[in-house]
Amino acid sequence: RLVLGIETSCDETGAAVLDETGTILGQSLHSQKEVHLKAGGIVPPVAQRLHKENISRVVQEALDRSGVTPRDLTAVATTVKPGLALSLGVGLHFSLSFVRQHEKPFIPIHHMEAHALTVRMLQHVEFPFLVLLVSGGHSLLALARGIDDFLLLGQTLDEAPGDTLDKVARRLSLIKHPKCRGLSGGQAIELLAKEGDRLQFQFRSPMGQHYDCNFSFAGVRNQVTMAINKREKQEGIEPGQLLSCVQDIAAAAQHTVASHIAKRTHRAILFCKARGLLPRNNPTLVVSGGVASNGYIRETLRIVTETTGLQLLCPPAEFCTDNGVMIAWNGVERLKEGKGVVSHTREVTYEPKAPLGRDISTEVRDAA
């Protein structure tokens, strides 16, 4: 069985062909990151145009590199939710004409489910396991109970940690910093933080009084912005000209984000343990999303999992970010369980907003 996976939910056009063991036969990825970096954020119509310009080539490249023709494919799996409407539309439109032309089954994919399950392509991980997804667009904790059965324990109430780090990096003009050329905001912060002293700045960790597993990062960004404003005023310089303590600010901001993520994850672990939701044998925390490639954040999480007796799994960075591989893998898992192939492609639509699984409050209410 061979599955072609197609991803266009945000700013990467990705395609990959996988066999049912999870071997990647070939893949292709076109990132729009540089274009959006220059614009200071994703402009949806620009993302849409770039997806349109690249999708046929990316899919063809993935097929060529796999040595596979459309005829050999068992099914096509494509991200249909959640994401930017204009971006999702391009992938779905392309995929539907492709499956109609080649008469292939179509499997719509939930982008966040795909992130959560990618680890199973790399190693044997049994359900249930705890997942932390931290990226530029998301921040959530969920219990994965099956390939399409997730219990949402918490999510961000405002922005995602990658977004926060990107905004801080932009406020500090790190894009112009000689050491940070071509790096994302989060990568720039991680690099500079290594040379900084986080104790030079003190930012409060959010939501100390919230006894749940939700996240909030906007307050961190406000505190960091205020500290930057104050310094710039003290030094009598224009916004974005700060050089003296950029490393210290990066270190303190990264520490506050890491510590918030760790505290919420700790709560989720204790909650799952108290309710017997995790297996006694080898309970596991899987961490994914672009922010999961941050070494400082990983180490902070390692302390949490070590003290609570969990195994910590972080897939390599290339599998933590958006690509066609994770979408194809989700298609493989669905095929194996006989789930998700649509009977009428006419009825398939994309959904910009789509929560991952059942919300914990719904679950508690229904159980009562």
Interface segment toward Fe ion; rule CB under 5 A; list 48-56, 88-96, 280-288, 320-328: 320-328
| Pairing of β 2-7 and β 75-81 | parallel
Beta bridge partners of 28: 15
Q: Is 185 in the site for ligand ATP (CB under 6 A)?
A: yes
Window 233 to 292, contacts with ligand ATP (CB under 6 A): 289-291
Residue 7 in the binding site for Fe ion (CB under 5 A): no
Q: Which is nearer to ligand ATP, 138 or 263 (CB)?
A: 138
Rounded least distance, CB 276 to ligand ATP, Å: 31
Q: Which residues in this chain contact Mg ion in the complex, by CB under 5 A?
A: 10, 322
From the CB of 15, what's the least distance to Mg ion, in Å? 15
Angle at 78 between CA 72 and CA 83, to 5 degrees: 165
Question: Considering CB distances under 5 to 8 angstroms, the limit depending on partner class, which of Mg ion, ligand ATP, Fe ion, none binds residue 206?
Answer: none
Q: Binding partner of residue 184 among Mg ion, ligand ATP, Fe ion, none, CB under 5 to 8 Å per kind?
A: ligand ATP
- How many angstroms separate the CA atoms of 272 and 270, rounded? 6
Give the one entry of Fe ion, Mg ion, ligand ATP, none that residue 84 binds, where binding means its C-beta sits below a cut-off of 5 to 8 angstroms depending on kind. Answer: none
Give the type of residue at 166: D
Distance CA 145, CA 166 (A): 32
Q: How far is the CB of 95 from Mg ion (least distance, A)?
A: 18
Q: Does 166 bind Fe ion (CB under 5 A)?
A: no
Residues in binding contact with ligand ATP, number by CB under 6 A: 21
Q: Of the two residues 31 and 308, which places its CB atom closer to ligand ATP in the complex? A: 31
Question: Minimum distance between the CB of residue 144 and Fe ion, rounded to whole angstroms?
Answer: 16
Least separation in angstroms between residue 297's CB and ligand ATP is 7
Q: For residue 348, what are its two tokens?
A: 């398939």
Q: How many angstroms separate the CA atoms of 6 and 354, rounded?
A: 18
Q: Amino acid letter at 37?
A: L
- Give the residue, chosen from 322, 325, 332, 334, that forms a contact with Fe ion under the rule CB under 5 A: 322
Q: Is 293 in the site for ligand ATP (CB under 6 A)?
A: yes
* Site membership for ligand ATP, residue 136 (CB under 6 A): yes
- Find the part of the chain contacting Fe ion (CB under 5 A) among 49-57, 90-98, 148-156, 322-330: 322-330
Phi and psi at 200, nearest 5°, equal: -70, -20
- Pick between residue 277 and residue 313 the one whose CB is nearest to Fe ion: 313
Nearer to Mg ion, 4 or 10 (CB): 10
163 near Fe ion, rule: CB under 5 A? no
What is the per-residue binding string for ligand ATP in 154-183, x denoting contact by CB under 6 A?
--------xx-xx-----------------
Binding site for ligand ATP (CB under 6 A): 10, 135-138, 162-163, 165-166, 184-187, 190, 289-291, 293-294, 321-322
Binding site for Fe ion (CB under 5 A): 322
